[in-house]
Amino acid sequence: EDGIRDWQYCLVGSEMCIRDSTSAPPIVPLRPPAGAPNVVIVLIDDMGFGCTSTFGGPVEMPTFDRLADNGLRYNRFHTTALCAPTRQALLTGRNHHSVGMGSITETATSAPGNNSLRPNTKAPLAMTLKLNGYSTAQFGKCHEVPVWETSPMGPFRQWPTGSGFEHFYGFIGGETNQYYPAIYRDTVPVEPERTPEEGYHFTEDMTDHAIEWVRQQKALMPDKPFFVYWAPGATHAPHHVPEEWSAKYKGRFDDGWDAQRERTFARQKELGIIPGDAELTPRPDEIPAWDDMPDDLKPVLSRQMEVYAGFLEHTDHHLGR
């Protein structure tokens, strides 16, 4: 009984102490400066400079066009010409070797600069924004995780949720089947809620989740800006897209890639994207001329171009959503 009385006295004493205290500072939520903008980064895989209508190419991309018409078109941007190094450089603002990504994760070695391990002295952009009061989320492809850390058992330091993103919905690695993807929610594997026969496609699915996350974030924390990294599997292989999208381009590439290259080049001059006196670079010997391809193979190659174009426009459509 004495112990119980002592305990009750302590509770009362603590309550009085806390109530009467003037030394404890108020708890203030972490927020960036007033007017800090929402940030959305869109990264589309394996998309050439001359692919889109925005840059004189054959693929109709109205969302991309609208963004460019209300912003800026850059005609000089450097990548590493590989997936994981470009992504890691973009997400850290660092030279790709300095963050361990000299090549893709699947070909990492123990050599410095190519071991696929990001030093903890090189903070990702998402981490910087989160520590400055942003909500952060990644949707789509993540190709920055060392191969030996890609299982559901982790470790998860270089997964999105270990790299500054509070939420992740997508796949780990270089590619996935767009109809039967290997999806993770944060670090937990999940199955798609529909089948391809029911209309499932990963790009649509990840966009649904991105829209839902943004709406929830703005409903619950309207004073807090967000950072969304939207990186679909498109247009990396496999090129999977509903047939109605590839059908829009039927016959458009039957005259081959050399003719298309010349059309794109001329259109880029018309748009002022390249100088009027620019000269088209010679086609490398390693890339065969269209006229040298066997006639029975040309329909297959044309179809491949149609599917790619449909896949890219389909991606632009969901970006618009």
- How would DSSP label each residue in 170-220? EEESS---SSS--EEETTEEE--SS-GGGT--HHHHHHHHHHHHHHHHHHH
At 7, the pLDDT band (50, 70, 90 cuts) reads very low
Q: Token pair 């404890």 is at which residue?
A: 24
Of 213, 124, 116, 220, the residue nearest 164 (C-alpha): 124
What residue has token string 């620019």?
278
Write the DSSP string, 17-74: HHHH---SPPP------TTPPPEEEE--TT--TTSBGGGT-SB--HHHHHHHHTS---
Region 178-182: mean pLDDT is 98
Confidence of residue 4 (pLDDT cuts 50, 70, 90): low
Residue 94 has a pLDDT of: 96
Strands 188-190 and 183-185, bridge-based pairing: antiparallel
For the chain, percent of residues with pLDDT exceeding 70: 93
pLDDT score at 9 = 47
- Alpha carbons 82 and 104: distance in angstroms, whole number: 7
pLDDT band per the 50, 70, 90 thresholds, residue 306: very high
pLDDT tens digits for range 237-292: 999 999 999 999 999 999 999 999 999 999 999 999 999 999 999 988 899 999 99
Cis geometry, peptide bond prior to residue 86 (ω within 30 degrees of 0): no
Global pTM reads 0.91
